[in-house]
Amino acid sequence: MTEIIIDECIHSDEIMLLLKNTGVNAKFLGTGLPDIDIERYLIKNPDSLLATSDIEFDTHFSWKKSLLLNHYDSMKEKVILISAFVS
Identify the sign of the CA torsion 66, 26, 47, 42: positive
| pLDDT averaged over every residue in the chain | 93
pLDDT score recorded for residue 37 = 94
pLDDT score recorded for residue 48 = 95
pLDDT score recorded for residue 10 = 94
pTM over 0.85: yes
pLDDT score recorded for residue 62 = 79
pLDDT mean over 15-22: 96
User: Quick check: 59 pLDDT over 80?
Assistant: yes
Tens of pLDDT along 27-43?
Answer: 999 999 999 999 999 99
Domain map (residue ranges) of the chain: 3-86
Tens of pLDDT along 19-31?
Answer: 999 999 999 999 9
